[in-house]
Chain A
């Protein structure tokens, strides 16, 4: 059974960088694509980007966030991470990590999500 769990700070200050980690169990991080998706309170879903690792690493980011986003993977720890810089209140959201089989596949497993609030 594949399980994903997000972890990271719940409160971050404006202009700072958010760092979140997704820990994967029941699957190898080298066998699938891994995405970050966010959802502002009471609003819809926004895809942030994905990473694929199989020897070499491939990433794809939403152009709306590309200048501020970095997604990386630590295969030895079965984790992948999100860094989002220059935070503002508009980045307040529940952040989800999710798995998909390929670049044109659906998100079949999701973490429970972690709420990140950007506030001073």
Chain B
């Protein structure tokens, strides 16, 4: 299984400041033949299902604010929120679909400082 490890486990950031969450996979999730990373980021608010924010490591889903961005390749990835808003308080998960079993990171809880 590909193990996904996120850091930090929790993060407190002031409104308007930048938040950065990291995700590391135990093996590469890059399909080199098509140069795509099979890595997604989800946002989960209390009592709600996860919401897909970013796929292919850096492509924002339709309707996702442009303050959310994803970067990285191979085994190291980052989700950045450029200017934290109150509605961004949530748990964030990375997930690989490079191979089954699909696996998620343990989650990063983002709060307001």
Contact = CB atoms under 8 A, between A and B. Distances in A.
B50 A110 contact: yes
A55 B41 CA distance: 32
Contact of A44 (B51, B97, B100, B104): B104
Contact of B49 (A35, A47, A60, A112): A112
Interface of B: 1, 31, 38, 40, 42, 48-52, 55, 61, 93, 95, 97-98, 100-107
Give chain A's interface residue range (CB within 8 Å of chain B).
20 to 34
Determine the main DSSP class of B at the interface with A: loop
A103 B100 contact: yes
Given A108-B61, A110-B49, A112-B49, A47 B105 contact: no
B93 to A, nearest CB: 6
Contact of A45 (B38, B48, B50, B98): B50
Interface string A80-120: 00000000000000001010100111111011110000000
Contacts of B42: 107
Contact of B52 (A62, A64, A108, A112): A108
A47 B102 CA distance: 6
B70 to A, nearest CB: 12
Given A44-B93, A44-B106, A44-B107, A107 B52 contact: yes
